[in-house]
């Protein structure tokens, strides 16, 4: 079997499993969160059949995005305290299931996953990113796929076109223009999803849109021109880093059934 790497957005998986186990009052029902998360991980391993697998957690400390834009991810609800206290036990159970967990200080899991995905792709290996976070869809390629573990399906370019009406490589530009409430990125005033899609259909990239804004001769063009620096900042926040020096070796994550 060739190289096939399963990159698990750990907190995305854990928090989704955790939320499904709570009743209306927030109390747990059914098996423990550790058992539920481990069972979910085992199912992913069975369905994806990787040669290598790793669970990537958020690094501690402030990352570069918050340094650039202090409102980044502002307003997100904190992790429930009981779940946070369960994380060491979950990581231990994941390791016993054959999958190591990693976190790198001041780095978001998204960028670590993106870098590992591109490193694997450069070796002609196949990558499966296990996450429901739309941010990973910008990485889609012939070697990189994104899997919705809970719907048991892969999210491909057809999915991106149907849901967002742009190509995967345009996704960060789309959200920079229209905004991304998930990450508290407001976008450009007066530019919603429909307008952003139309602009990207005509001009292909954010850079082209900004270059043509003065020639549009419209109020929208004037607004985009005034907000050029904000648009580029938002784009930088939304694009995943793919070339971080992690000091990791894929061989450390070989998965043995």
**Relative orientation angle of helices 81-96 and 10-20, to the nearest 10 degrees:** 120
pLDDT at 21: 84
pLDDT at 1: 65
Q: What is the CA radius of gyration of the chain?
A: 20
Find out whether 139 and 129 touch, Cβ atoms under 8 Å. yes
Domains 4-160+241-253 and 164-238 share a fold: no
Taking the CA atoms of 154, 55, 93 and 22 in sequence, report the sign of the dihedral they define: negative
pLDDT tens figures, 81-90: 999 999 999 9
Average pLDDT per consecutive 10 residues, the chain (257 residues; last block may be shorter): 94 95 77 94 98 97 94 92 95 97 97 97 96 98 97 96 97 98 95 96 97 93 96 98 93 89
Taking the CA atoms of 104, 105, 109 and 115 in sequence, report the sign of the dihedral they define: negative
Find out whether 146 and 129 touch, Cβ atoms under 8 Å. yes
Output the pTM of the full model: 0.95
> What superfamily does domain 164-238 belong to in CATH?
5' to 3' exonuclease, C-terminal subdomain (1.10.150.20)
pLDDT at 31: 81
Find out whether 53 and 41 touch, Cβ atoms under 8 Å. no
Find out whether 72 and 16 touch, Cβ atoms under 8 Å. no
pLDDT at 30: 75
Q: Which residues, including other chains, have CB under 8 Å from residue 143's CB and lie 6 or more apart?
A: 120, 121, 124, 125, 126, 127
How many Cβ atoms sit within 10 Å of the Cβ of residue 195?
Answer: 15
pLDDT at 195: 97
Instruction: List the domain boundaries for the chain.
Output: 4-160+241-253, 164-238
Distance CA 48, CA 126 (A): 11
Q: Domain 4-160+241-253: which CATH class? A: alpha beta
Distance CA 172, CA 238 (A): 5
How many Cβ atoms sit within 10 Å of the Cβ of residue 204?
Answer: 15
pLDDT at 26: 74
């Amino acid at each position: 079997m060739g190289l096939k790497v399963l990159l698990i957005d750990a907190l995305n998986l854990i928090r989704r499993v955790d939320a499904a186990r709570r009743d209306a009052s927030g109390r747990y029902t059914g098996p423990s969160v550790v058992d539920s998360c481990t069972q979910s991980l085992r199912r992913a391993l069975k369905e994806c059949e990787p040669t290598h697998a790793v669970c990537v957690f958020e690094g501690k400390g402030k990352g570069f995005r918050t340094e650039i834009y202090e409102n980044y991810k502002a307003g997100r609800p904190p992790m429930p305290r009981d779940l946070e206290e369960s994380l060491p036990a979950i990581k231990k159970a994941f390791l016993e299931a054959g999958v190591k967990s990693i976190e790198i200080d001041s780095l978001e899991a998204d960028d670590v996953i993106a870098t590992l995905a591109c490193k694997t792709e450069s070796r002609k290996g196949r990558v499966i990113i296990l996450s429901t976070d739309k941010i990973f869809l910008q990485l889609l390629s012939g070697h990189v796929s994104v899997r919705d573990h809970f719907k048991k399906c892969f999210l491909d370019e057809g999915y991106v076109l149907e849901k967002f009406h742009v190509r995967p490589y345009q996704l960060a530009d789309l959200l920079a223009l229209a905004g991304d409430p998930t990450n508290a990125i407001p976008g450009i005033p007066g530019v919603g999803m429909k307008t952003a899609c139309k602009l990207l259909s005509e001009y292909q990239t954010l850079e082209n849109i900004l270059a043509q804004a003065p020639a549009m001769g419209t109020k929208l063009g004037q607004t985009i021109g005034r907000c050029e620096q904000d648009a580029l900042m938002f784009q930088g926040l939304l694009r995943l880093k793919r070339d971080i020096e992690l000091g990791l070796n894929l061989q450390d994550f070989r998965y043995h059934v």
